[in-house]
Amino acid sequence: MTPLLQLHHLSKSYKKQVAIDDISLALPAGKIIGLLGSNGSGKTTLIKLINGLLQPDKGDVVINGYRPSIETKKIISYLPDTTYLREGMKIKDMLDLFDDFYEDFSREKAENLLKDLHLDDNEMLKNLSKGNKEKVQLVLVMARKAKLYILDEPIGGVDPAARDYILKTIINNYSEDASVIISTHLISDIEPILDEVIFLKEGKIILQGNADDIREEYGKSIDSVFREKYNG
Amino acid sequence: MFSKLLKYELKFVGKWYFALNTGLLLIAALLGFVIKSLDTNPQSMNEIIPFFLFLILGALIASSWLATITIIVKRFYSHIFGREGYLTLTLPVSIHQIIISKLLVSVLWSIFNTLVILISIGLLFLPSVGIKETLIFLPSINDVLPFNNLLLLIFYTFMSNISGNLLIYFALSIGQLFSDHRILMSFVAYFSIIIALILFTTPLLEKFMPYDDLFSTPFFIYYILAFVIESSIFYFGTAYIIKNKLNLQ
């Protein structure tokens, strides 16, 4: 089976600081993948490279056979670690926008998710709390039937109840031909749903593999392995 | 997709902008009648009222012009370089479509704003001159103005507008290349480019364009060509920076 995402000797530096250092990997479809690392380990840079928001110094990113381009933007549903909502709009204006630009967006699904999270789509975005803005963004991203979901710190600012709901939504979206990459340093919360993990440190992959295999090999949880790798 | 980008560009402009421009036209019309009544009967009115109306008109013209510039700058800056850049730059559209859609709408607002200001100035004199006289005069406007080619003048204005807008985009993009003081550096870039253009084009102009040829056909062709070259540099420079050098924060 052809991998959904391939990175070939990918490198990126900012001025003299190396952010991504010669990373190669291939990720299959149908998996939930944890991209784990401490702050400054290169997670967000890697995600920006995959989304075409940054250009690599060396190497290649290939998603479903394409380099980052309009074709890949059609199939990637990306949740950045910051809010990108246009403040002067209502929630339903954002639904219109996604409906207009993304063929795979399901308005019905978005409306149902909003209802479950007790969000009124007539509400102005600038009146929402930070946590509610994050929820709206997550709803927009998860209401697409994308091939690759990239979620950068998706559960950082929301309350535990919403956190559980969000994780459930992510699992429900997961299908045979779609993968989800979740970047986070809050590992214990998402550990139960992960199929694969990638540990990133100083721009390099220090550990990668099946979550069950790693737990078995180390005889402890991914969270404990993470603490050991980053504190030791 | 391009038409959808245009739709959202047009939507971005708030009702306040139209209210401001309508206010400008209303005050100009009102002032037109005040001028007429002063003309016919200078003693009829307190002097302070026309003075204030002129002051308000001046302020409205300045604010409608500033508002247009602000909309042009803010739309480009916040949608691409601000947080909204994460949304704009991951939509399934090309960078060229994004820049061109913004440019077209910027040109549209610039033309709209220029027309509103011209009409408001026209409204000042319309009641005094009379509608009939104005309508008779209008067809001969081409003979009165020192332009022997109205079509070239329109094209010249259009190209200068495009080049002006693209210069704003390019300067904003250059500002992004710095890690600090990005807005300040955009201003520095903007004025440096203008100074460089003057230094570069003045010798050319002196060589090819004797001064008595002002507003002649060669004058227009020279400037239109210059605007096309400048616009290309600003456009591709902007696209290059957004694609290759931008790192959203």
CATH of the domain at A50: 3.40.50.300
Alpha-carbon distance B2 to B93, whole Å? 8
> In chain A, which residues have their Cβ closer than 8 Å to the Cβ of B1?
101
With 90 as the cut, is the pLDDT of residue B87 above it? Answer: yes
Share of chain A above pLDDT 70, in %: 98
At B174 the pLDDT is 95
Separation of alpha carbons A180 and A184, rounded Å: 13
Cβ <8 Å between A88 and B14: yes
Q: What is the pLDDT of residue B162?
A: 95
From B8, B14, B93, residue closest to A70, measured CB to CB:
B93
Q: Which of B4, B87, B243 to mutate to test the interface with A (most CBs of A within 10 A)?
A: B87
Look up the domain containing A28 and give its range.
5-231
Mean pLDDT of A105-122: 91
Q: Give per-residue pLDDT as tens, A41-95.
A: 899 999 999 999 999 999 999 999 999 999 999 999 999 988 888 888 899 999 9
State which residue of chain B sits closest to A15, comparing Cα positions: B179
The whole-chain average pLDDT of chain B stands at 85
Q: Which residues of A lie inside 8 Å of B (Cβ-Cβ)?
A: 14, 48, 51-55, 70-71, 73-74, 76, 78, 80, 82-86, 88, 97, 100-102
Percent of chain B with pLDDT over 70: 88
Tally Cβ neighbours within 10 Å of residue B15. 7
Contact A53 B94 (CB under 8 A): no
Helix or strand holding residue A221 (H, E): none
Helix (H, G, I), strand (E, B) or coil at B4: helix
The per-residue pLDDT for range B163-196, each reduced to its tens digit, is 999 999 999 999 999 888 989 999 999 999 999 9
Q: Tell me if B148 sits within 8 A of B216, measured CB to CB.
A: yes
Per-residue confidence (pLDDT) for residue B147, from 0 to 100: 56
Which residues from chain B sit within 8 angstroms of residue A64, using beta carbons?
A: none
User: pLDDT at position B134, please?
Assistant: 73
At B246 the three-state DSSP class reads coil
When divided into structural domains, chain A yields a total of: 1
**Do A51 and B90 count as a contact with CB atoms less than 8 A apart?**
yes
Query: What ipTM, to 2 d.p.?
Result: 0.91
Q: How many residues does chain A have?
A: 232
Q: How far is CA B185 from CA A146, B48, B192, in A?
A: 39, 44, 10
Instruction: Write out pLDDT tens, residues A221-230.
Output: 888 888 888 8
Q: Which residue has the higher pLDDT, B212 or A64?
A: A64
Higher pLDDT, B235 or A169: B235
Looking at residue B81, what is its pLDDT? 92
Query: Does A181 have pLDDT greater than 70?
Result: yes
